[in-house]
């Protein structure tokens, strides 16, 4: 009976996370020691590095974090322990990489292995679970994101992680990295703005005209079923023809390859969530509120601007959140047709069998998508809380 009660007290999510952490530590390499950027490298398990003080400290904190995830009910204390463990994990990978790098070597590459990334994800989920249980207010969630971003920035600025392969790739491509970062954000946010300008009025029209609604939503749903590469390919031919025969279009930068087909494809993919959420949001407004406003003499436009859209805004913003996260990810594929962005590093790395270069494009993409989702979720919850 006592054993049954003890098992029930275990945190189920914590049990899964701890199991994943233990398995990854035992089976997956913590770091790869490579002679150069394309070499296979020598895998090193975390257990093979226990002669290093940083790894000993990390191991102790991993055990403490595992116990906290399994048994500790105090979410704030669990957050402190897991955050300290995350900081130690980042410091340990930097110190281990520095220790394995030959003095003065520019060719050697120290790549974080699967064990590191799984531990990073597991600790991140423990932190996320603790933050959820603390029930932070929306602005506090944004502050937490800023705090963890600042923690990462401190490690990067300190030079502790400079021996890692991803930062060596960044050092040789820093100018290009920031150029592609700007291109990535311009494509993602530019397509979002255009999709809002088109999708919001279209959603309003679909709400007002039910007969049009089904046709529009089915058409936009059909676009969603087209693979991104296929859609880019379909756009290349007409845009290339337009650029060849219309000089004004070519002067505006409209070509068969480049940013133009990427932007159009992203806008097409973005329309369905915005139009659908606009319709759903407007349908969710209490008809009695509209009737009362009409009885007061308000016009249809005044009811839309003053009542419908403000009440439907949280639902519409949820669609915008979906679109932004989706666009940040899809821009990486646009690199295949010259659209720019972080995808350039991903596909260059795949072509050169240089996984460190792949990480240089993938890691910031994931970071920007995750940050955008957290910020917009906080804004949505804040608006809903104010409305309530």
| pLDDT tens digit at each of 388 positions of the chain | 444 433 346 778 888 989 999 999 999 999 999 887 777 788 999 999 999 999 999 999 999 999 998 888 889 999 999 999 999 999 999 999 998 888 877 778 888 999 999 999 999 999 999 998 888 888 888 999 999 999 999 999 998 998 898 998 898 889 999 999 999 999 999 999 999 999 999 999 999 888 888 899 999 999 888 888 788 778 777 777 777 777 776 666 677 777 788 888 899 999 999 999 999 999 988 888 888 888 887 888 888 888 888 888 989 999 999 999 999 998 998 888 888 889 999 998 888 878 888 999 999 999 999 999 999 988 888 887 665 5
Q: How far apart are CA 257 and CA 261, in angstroms?
A: 6
Predicted local distance difference test score (pLDDT) of residue 387: 56
pLDDT for 5 equals 39
Residues linked to residue 109 through DSSP beta bridges, in sequence order: 34
Q: Alpha-carbon Rg of the chain, whole angstroms?
A: 25
Tokens 């300190």: give the residue: 158
Write out the two tokens for 270.
Answer: 């973005």
The pTM assigned to this predicted structure is 0.84
Q: Count other Cβ atoms within 10 Å, centred on residue 195.
A: 26
CA–CA distance, 344 with 360 (Å, rounded to integer): 10
Give the DSSP per-residue string, 50-74.
Answer: TTSHHHHHHHHHHHHHHHHHHH---
Q: Rounded distance, CA 337 to CA 135, Å?
A: 44
**CATH (one of 3.40.1280.10, 3.20.20.70, 1.10.3720.10, 1.10.420.10) for 174-387:** 1.10.3720.10
pLDDT on residue 303: 84
> Which tokens go with 110?
């120290």
In 349-382, which positions are buried (b, 16+ CB within 10 angstroms) versus exposed (e)?
beeeebbbbbbbbbebbeebbebbebbbbbbbbb
Instruction: Please report the pLDDT score of residue 386 as a whole number.
Output: 65
CA separation for the pair 176, 169 (Å, rounded): 11
In whole angstroms, what separates CA 288 from the centre of its chain? 40
| Angle at the Cα of 132 from the Cα atoms of 128 and 136, rounded to 5 degrees | 115
Structure letter (DSSP) for residue 48: G
Per-residue buried b or exposed e for 228-253, using 16+ beta carbons within 10 Å of the residue's own CB? beebbbebbeebbebbeeeeebeeee
Structure token digits, residue 23: 């398995």
Structure confidence at residue 363 (pLDDT): 92
């Amino acid at each position: 009976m006592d054993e049954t009660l003890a098992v029930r007290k275990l945190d189920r999510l914590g049990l899964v996370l701890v199991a994943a952490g233990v398995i990854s530590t035992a089976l997956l390499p913590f770091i790869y020691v490579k002679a150069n950027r394309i070499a296979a490298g020598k895998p090193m398990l975390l257990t093979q590095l226990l002669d290093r003080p940083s790894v000993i400290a990390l191991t102790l904190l991993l055990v403490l974090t595992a116990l906290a995830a399994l048994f500790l009910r105090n979410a704030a204390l669990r957050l402190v322990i897991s955050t300290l463990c995350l900081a130690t994990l980042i410091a340990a990978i930097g110190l281990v990489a520095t220790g394995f790098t030959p003095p003065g070597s520019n060719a050697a590459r120290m790549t974080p292995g699967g064990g590191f990334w799984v531990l990073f994800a597991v600790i991140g989920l423990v932190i996320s679970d603790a933050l959820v249980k603390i029930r932070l207010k929306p602005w506090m969630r944004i502050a937490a994101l800023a705090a963890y971003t600042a923690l990462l920035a401190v490690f990067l600025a300190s030079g502790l992680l400079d021996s890692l392969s991803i930062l060596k790739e960044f050092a040789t491509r820093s100018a290009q990295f920031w150029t592609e970062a700007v291109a990535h954000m311009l494509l993602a946010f530019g397509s979002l703005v255009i999709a809002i300008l088109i999708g919001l009025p279209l959603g309003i029209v679909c709400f007002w005209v039910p007969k049009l609604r089904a046709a529009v939503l089915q058409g936009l749903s059909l676009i969603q079923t087209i693979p991104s590469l296929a859609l880019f390919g379909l756009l290349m031919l007409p845009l290339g023809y337009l650029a060849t025969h219309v000089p004004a279009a070519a002067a505006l930068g409209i070509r068969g390859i480049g940013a133009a087909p990427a932007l159009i494809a992203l806008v097409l993919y973005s329309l369905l969530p915005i139009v659908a959420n606009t319709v759903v949001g407007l349908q969710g407004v209490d008809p009695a509120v509209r009737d009362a406003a009409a009885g007061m003499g308000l016009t249809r436009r005044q009811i839309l601007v003053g009542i419908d859209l403000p009440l439907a805004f949280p639902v519409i913003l949820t669609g915008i959140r979906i679109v932004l996260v989706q666009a940040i990810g899809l821009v990486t594929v646009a690199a295949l047709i010259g659209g720019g962005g972080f995808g350039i590093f991903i596909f260059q790395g795949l072509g050169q069998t240089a996984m460190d270069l792949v990480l240089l494009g993938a890691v910031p993409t994931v970071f920007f998508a995750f940050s955008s989702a957290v910020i917009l979720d906080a804004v949505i919850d804040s608006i809903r809380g104010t409305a309530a």
